[in-house]
Structure 1
Amino acid sequence: MGSLLFLAFAYLAVGQAAVNRNGAQTAADAAALAAAQDKRDQLAGKWVEEVLDPTQWQDIFDGFAPGLTPSCWRADQLASQNDAHVDGCVPGPLEFEVSVEMDNPVGDSIIPGTEGRYSTESAIAVIEPRCTFELPEEDAGDDVLPQLTCKDRNWDLDPEDLGDLPAPEDLFDVHLAD
């Protein structure tokens, strides 16, 4: 009977650790996605600013635009909403790798040492451009913008009427890496 009771407590301890680990993974996923979405929104804003200069578009779709602000603050914000804190946030041009540690330990159990252990996990979020374009011929003039071919829609942009521009989610997809 004592062995069965010990086994039950051991399963409880393993379950407790698994729940804490799953919470850490959720926090890491949310933090990485939040940072990537912030950068996506900034890149989309830069694209709107530069819509009349299509020579700048490719740099923006590649994740390079002057004046972007760091986005790791969003990772910190989302990690804290999930009872964790960011251990590291590594931005790339079109990705964020975020590692988090839970604020609460695994907890007391019959397994010694778990009361001081904290779950850590990491996640990578990727920003993927959804659109392509071909620059107009040099003799086309300044009043011609390329067609923006996106996954869900093609955008024929008129420099005289820029009222219907793609939203950030039309220009870029944000998802977790495999």
Structure 2
Amino acid sequence: MWLTAILLFAGLAFFAFAQAASARNQTQTAADAAALAAASEARDQIMQRLSLAIEGGEAWQEWVTDPTVPGPFGGAAQQLAAANNASVVAGPQLTEVSGYPGFRVQVRRNDSVGDTVIPGTEAMHAKADAVAVLQPRCEIDGGTDPAEPLELNCDGEIVDIDPENFKPDDLPDASVLFSVNLAE
């Protein structure tokens, strides 16, 4: 009888730890999604600024090789965290990762770990954080005059930009010019 009770309690305790681990994994997924969303949102803003700079005859080359991250870039992070049953509690915060712009996000799971045989878990919420990094993929082949046609070499894919005959549709997909990846 005692052995059965001990085994039953051990099984319930094991289930509680598995339930907490599952909540933690789901929360990490939400943090990863939110960080990637913030970096992707910033990448889209950079593409808009790049297009405007080329159309306006401004110096645009740095937008490709060393982008300045505009803002705000938190709306998409909030949406993806919510889609994964979590809320952003910190960030997205602009940070630097190996010389590139990074986006740190911390999320908290909306649901608690749950009621288990371990006291206090019914009020505990899993937390996780993640960092996504935005990296330029292109090198400029040619001069530095923003009015002259230039060729970009984006990880082997050639992109020609002629500012004199530029249309916003001339730009490739943002993923050609910039990669977005998790850093941590």
Instruction: State the Cα distance separating 1:43 from its structure 2 match.
Output: 0.4
Instruction: State the Cα distance separating 1:147 from its structure 2 match.
Output: 1.4
Identical amino acids, percent of aligned pairs: 38
1:37-76, aligned counterparts within 5 Å? 37-51=40-54, 53=57, 55-59=59-63, 61-64=65-68, 68-76=70-78
2:139 corresponds in structure 1 to 132
- Aligned match for 1:147, one of 148, 151, 168: 151
Indicate if the aligned counterparts of 2:89 and 2:107 stay in contact, CA closer than 8 A. Answer: yes
1:79-118, aligned counterparts within 5 Å? 79-89=81-91, 90-92=93-95, 94-118=101-125
Q: Secondary structure at the match of 1:166?
A: coil
What code does the residue aligned with 2:122 have?
Answer: E
How many residues were matched structurally?
Answer: 173
TM-score, with length taken from structure 2: 0.85
Unaligned runs of 5+ in 1: none
Indicate if the aligned counterparts of 1:46 and 1:60 stay in contact, CA closer than 8 A. Answer: no
Instruction: State the Cα distance separating 1:72 from its structure 2 match.
Output: 1.2
- Aligned match for 2:31, one of 20, 28, 46: 28
Unaligned runs of 5+ in 2: none
Instruction: State the Cα distance separating 1:134 from its structure 2 match.
Output: 4.7
* Partner Cα separation in structure 2 for residue 61 and residue 144 of structure 1: 17
CA 1:153–1:7 in structure 2 vs 1: closer, same or farther (change >3 Å)? same
Task: Give the structure with the higher percent strand.
Answer: 2
CA 1:150–1:50 in structure 2 vs 1: closer, same or farther (change >3 Å)? same
* Partner Cα separation in structure 1 for residue 110 and residue 172 of structure 2: 39
Indicate if the aligned counterparts of 1:127 and 1:174 stay in contact, CA closer than 8 A. Answer: yes
